[in-house]
Structure 1
Amino acid sequence: MRVKVISRNPSDYLRETKHDIHKVQRNYDPKLHPFAIPREYQRALNAVKLEKIFAKPFLGSLDGHSDVVQCLMKHPSSLSVLVSGAADGEIKIWNIAKRRCLKTITAHSGIVNGLCPSRGNDYFFSIGDGATIKQWKYASTSEEIRMVYEDDNDSDASEEETENDDNTPLNTIIGKSVMMGIDHHWEKPIMITCGESVQLWEESRSEPLQSLEWGVDTVYKVKFNPVETDLCVSAGSDRSLILYDIKMSKPLRKVIMALRSNSVCWNPMEAFNFTAASEDHDLYTFDMRKLSVPLQVHKDHVSAVIDVDYSPTGKEFVSGSYDKTIRIFPVDKGRSREVYHTKRMQRLTSVIWSYDSKYVLCGSDEMDIRIWKANASEKIGPRMFREEAAFRYQEKLKEKFSHHPEIGRISRHRHVPKHIRHSQQEKRAMLESRKRKEANRRAHSKPGTVPYKQERTKHIVTEEE
């Protein structure tokens, strides 16, 4: 005997609160709603306009450094902790939620070139202008509570004692050459540094385990792969991007670009893909298995791109440039979906994307660390069920009608500063002139003597193995 049970979802017929209107059951037969599409189009148009009205991405700043903020670092297990290094050798540990400094460390005598966390441990590493790697401890919860709630006199004394303790590193490793960048293995107690050569270090040893070289004067940036953890990529002064496997005694592959890359970052969800920030104002996403052609060229900046960092979802990344703007790019698109700027913000030196995928932080020349929303119009804080459903409905409507001219025009429009606008016009004129010159040369030459190069391949000089 079969029993057919009728089940109902209470959310379909019950009010969320007693002040809400009563829900009415509707017949969704399309024959009964001949004007459904025009109504949805108008709702999509209103949703896009409201998104522009509520787009307020800037949340606040962390002020306290007395020199240029050179590098930023995320805590591997805490969303509220941020570490920053400045050009005067000072390191600060911040509580982002309270927007206050927890600890100040006078770490190096020159620029702090790099910071990296030890995965799963309560300490991090820093490198300065010299040839030293220093190990430091994070601020503990007791120190934070003491700094917030103690009286002024007592807190001054305790801060002096803490500062004296903080200026003594847990460990110091002295190398033989200047170091420009550092990163930590995602699973093992191993670090990798770059400078005159790429060196592999163990946390407890004072001598490098391995030295990897491939004819480069200086390597500026090196990053471990978060998925295939034994792989890493570096950017050098000879315009090269070099791949390494720490299990092998020599580098794997090398590609030489037309201009130098300032930074590299791996996609945390796609093991073989990484993005390089270049001096030619563009960013290049590569598949490490085929370096001869980039997967995508990301354009919109009008000056050298200094830093790049991926979202934890792996679908977007953020870049900071010398044109004083931050841009957010989808991985599979060549144009940015968002641009952030302020009147006071100067040239960007570093950008990071928080591990909860909701915030972007940047450091710049005027000594401030700024906090931005990853989605400019997103509401921060708790949402009711109906509010969340309304937001999802609006997103689907915008996606459905995104190809309509008016909705596409409104969603793409961004206000940019005057100097960015003028630089864009100048750059566009230069590119058109270059294309016109190449077309004329091809038209007045023998067939095949002036080969046509695609946009993705014209910036690649050579690939070596």
Structure 2
Amino acid sequence: MKVKVISRSADEFTRERSNDLQRVFHNYDPSIRSQEKAVEYVRALNAAKLEKIFARPFIGAMDGHIDAVSSTAKNPNHLKGIFSGSMDGDIRLWDISSRRTVCQFPGHQGAVRGLTVSTDGRILVSCGTDCSVRLWNVPVAAPFELDGSTENSAKPISVYVWKNAFWGVDHQWDGELFATVGAQVDIWNHNRSQPVNSFEWGSDSVISVRFNPGEPNLLATSASDRSITLYDLRMASAVRKIIMMTKTNALSWNPREPLNFTAANEDGNCYSYDARKLDEAKCVHRDHVSAVMDIDYSPTGREFVTGSYDRTVRIFQYNGGHSREIYHTKRMQRVFCVKFSCDASYVISGSDDTNLRLWKARASEQLGVLLPRERKKHDYHEALKNRYKYLPEVKRIVRHRHLPKPIFKATSLMRVMADARKRKEERRKAHSAPGSIKTEPLRKRRIIKEVE
């Protein structure tokens, strides 16, 4: 008698790295799966809801300063180190992973207005309202291994005293020069106690400076006379200048598109410009209800973070008109400085309540090591939300944010005022001769003139 037995291998019917879960086989023939789009839509809806449920962006606060945090800087060579300076002249190096101080840099007699680190990560440059620039040796990785009760104090390797107070400092991305701003723009070398070059265009004080990441000799500044100016060190003069209707508090270049920069303005908006065409902003980023105090681009160049006087931190897409995220707490006061971490995973904000706060760049991101199946599931949910993001229900859930009551009321009031201005403009056009009134878009209207 001959008997045929059906046999199959267990490896073909169990999932990878699992001995108890059965592998599911799918037949993707559309004639069999008539409800595929409906099922995917429900999954996208659930994925959007789950993102809101698991949105916990706040990680922790780094408490140690005794006055408002006025400036921050990140070290390009150390992923988990962040420098902060306060209004009382105290400078600290923090370990982000343990959220504790690992080194202090005492010496400034006034507010620390600017911090920057050299390209090689060895020199920290600080400046303040005490008319001094100080250079410090950045500790190597050893202090990060000390126990939490130990704090090191460092001494400056150089102190340069100048004639006026300083409002900002920035180091070349590739080079040994750094620039300070105050009554004028000064270019310094590490080894010289006097500026190697100085620029001045106008009599008002300059409040921020940023070197271009792609061209080391190009830098942009903003001044209290509402101007944004581009300088070229090779020409030893200013290149171009635009005057806006309100003051620009900070600038940041896009590291992936070095010809583009974004300006944080006093009117609560951010304006993205192309350095080759300054007569019109490429994009206007609106959502803040008070002055934007600081801005910093992500290393990926696809997003930037802003801190505002309205006590919120927002994350924008580089080409998005409205913010993707808004971060706030009950105790957080006016935000003076913000920074993206070097791996674009975290955001650090410094505020008037003496605290540095650590946030996740993605509010619902799962921290820790992800298993392959978990990563596949997250990627699948992201793909579903991206596919159905324009449908009304998914769009409503994804865009919804809980706002503090003052922000909500101010936003509603600004919307009413904007609608009133629009109606007034339409009525003026309707009762005027055709073509006599020209309306410029906001990205052009905020620029008064361009000077070359």
> Relative to structure 2, which stretch is displaced further, 423-432 or 12-21?
12-21
Aligned to 2:166: 179
Q: Which residue of 2 aligns with 1:66?
A: 66
Once the two structures are superposed, the pairs formed by residues 439-458 of structure 1 within 5 Å of their partners are: 439-458=426-445
AA aligned to 1:412 is: R
Measured against aligned partners, the alpha-carbon deviations of 1:12-41 in whole angstroms (never above 9, x if no partner) come to 965233344121333211112111111111
Query: Between the two proteins, what is the percent identity of the paired residues?
Result: 44
Aligned residue in 1 for 2:390: 403
- Residue in structure 1 matched with residue 4 of structure 2 by the alignment: none
| Residue 277 (structure 2) pairs with residue 290 (structure 1) | yes
2-structure distance, mates of 1:13, 1:457: 63
1:86 and 2:73 equivalent? Answer: no
Q: Give the counterpart letter for 1:71 in structure 2.
A: S
**Alignment partner of 2:313 out of 326, 337, 342:** 326
Structure 1 match to 2:404: 417
Decide whether aligned partners of structure 1 residues 205 and 440 sit closer, same or farther in structure 2, where only a CA change above 3 A counts.
Answer: same
Contact 1:93 1:139 in 2 (8 A): no
Structure-2 separation of matches of 1:20 and 1:74: 47
The residue aligned with 1:4 is none
Distance 2:297 2:233 in 1: 23
- Equivalent positions of 1:129-148 (< 5 A) are 129-148=129-148
1:250-290 CA-to-partner distances (Å, cap 9, x unmatched) read 11111111100000000000010000000111000000000
- Give the structure 1 partner of residue 209 of structure 2: 222
Deviation at 1:427, TM superposition (A): 0.9
Structure 2 partner of 1:24: 24
How far, CA to CA, are the matches of 1:404 and 1:128 in structure 2? 51
| Alpha-carbon separation, structure 2, partners of 1:320 and 1:383 | 31
Q: Which runs of 5+ in 2 are unaligned?
A: 1-10
Kindly indicate whether the alpha-carbon contact (under 8 Å) linking 1:116 and 1:183 is maintained by their aligned counterparts in 2.
yes
How far apart are the structure 1 equivalents of 2:78 and 2:316?
A: 26
Residue 451 and residue 24 in structure 1: after superposition, are their counterparts in 2 closer, same or farther (change >3 A)? closer
Describe the superposition over 1:335-394 as per-residue Cα deviations: whole angstroms up to 9, x where unpaired: 111111110001100000011010000000000000000000010110111111111111
Confirm or deny that 1:431 pairs with 2:410.
Answer: no
In structure 1, the residue matched to 2:8 is none
Find the aligned partners of 1:14 and 1:385 in 2 and give their Cα distance: 15
Change (3 A) 1:43 1:461: same
Q: 1:389 to 1:216 in 2, by over 3 A?
A: farther
> Which amino acid in 2 is paired with 1:457?
K
Matches of 1:426 and 1:239, distance apart in 2: 26
Residues 216 and 237 of structure 1 are in contact (CA less than 8 Å); yes or no, is this contact kept in structure 2? no
Distance 1:217 1:415, change over 3 A: same
Structure 1 residue 433: Cα displacement: 1.7
2:185, 2:286 → 1: CA distance? 30
Displacement of 1:322? 0.6
Gap change, CA 1:197 and 1:299, over 3 Å in 2: same
Farther off after superposition, 200-209 or 47-56: 200-209
Q: CA deviation at 1:437?
A: 2.1
User: Is the 8 Å Cα contact of residues 14 and 21 (structure 2) preserved in structure 1?
Assistant: no
Instruction: Find the aligned partners of 1:401 and 1:191 in 2 and give their Cα distance.
Output: 48
What is residue 116 of structure 1 aligned with on the other side? 116
2:14·2:20 contact (CA, 8 Å) conserved in 1? no
Preserved contact between residue 75 and residue 121 of structure 2 (Cα < 8 Å) = no
Indicate the SS of the match to 1:392: helix
Distance 1:279 1:307 in 2: 10
- The SS at the match of 1:48 is helix
Q: CA offsets, 1:222-269, max 9 Å, x none?
A: 000111222111111110110111111211111111100000000000
The match for 1:43 is 43
CA gap of 1:51–1:211, structure 2 versus 1, over 3 A, is same
In 2, the alpha carbon distance for the partners of 1:144 and 1:326 equals: 28
Give 1:147 shift. 4.5
Distance 1:362 1:102 in 2: 18
Q: Contact (CA 8 Å) 2:317, 2:323: kept in 1 or not?
A: yes
Is 1:310–2:274 an aligned residue pair? no
TM-score normalised by length of structure 1: 0.92
| TM-score where L is the length of structure 2 | 0.95
Other structure's SS at 2:315 match: strand
Tell me the SS of whatever aligns to 2:167. strand
2:97 corresponds in structure 1 to 97
State the 1:137 CA deviation. 1.9
Secondary structure in 2 aligned to 1:133?
strand
The answer to whether the 8 A contact 1:102-1:147 is kept is: no
- Indicate the residue corresponding to 1:240 in structure 2: 227
Partner of 2:427, secondary structure, is helix
Q: Which residue of 2 aligns with 1:5?
A: none
2:367 to 380, 400, 405: 380
1:249-398 alignment runs, 5 A limit: 249-398=236-385
Which stretch of the first structure deviates more once superposed, 260-269 or 91-100? 91-100
CA distance in 2, matches of 1:36, 1:448: 53
Q: C-alpha separation between the residues in 1 aligned to 2:190 and 2:245?
A: 37
Look up the SS of the partner of 1:106 in the other structure.
Answer: coil
Aligned-partner residue type, residue 294 of structure 2: D
- Give the C-alpha shift of residue 415 in structure 1: 0.4
- Asked whether the 8 Å contact 1:131–1:175 carries over to 2, the reply is yes
CA contact (8 A) 1:278 1:305 kept: yes
Assess if the C-alpha contact under 8 Å between 1:328 and 1:339 holds in 2.
Answer: yes
Structure 1 residue runs without a partner (length 5+): 1-10, 150-154
| Structure 2 CA distance for partners of 1:240 and 1:12, relative to 1, 3 Å | farther
The SS at the match of 1:40 is: helix
- Whether 2:176 is the aligned partner of 1:189: answer yes
**1:210 aligns to 2:183 (yes or no):** no
For 1:426, what is the secondary structure of its paired residue? helix
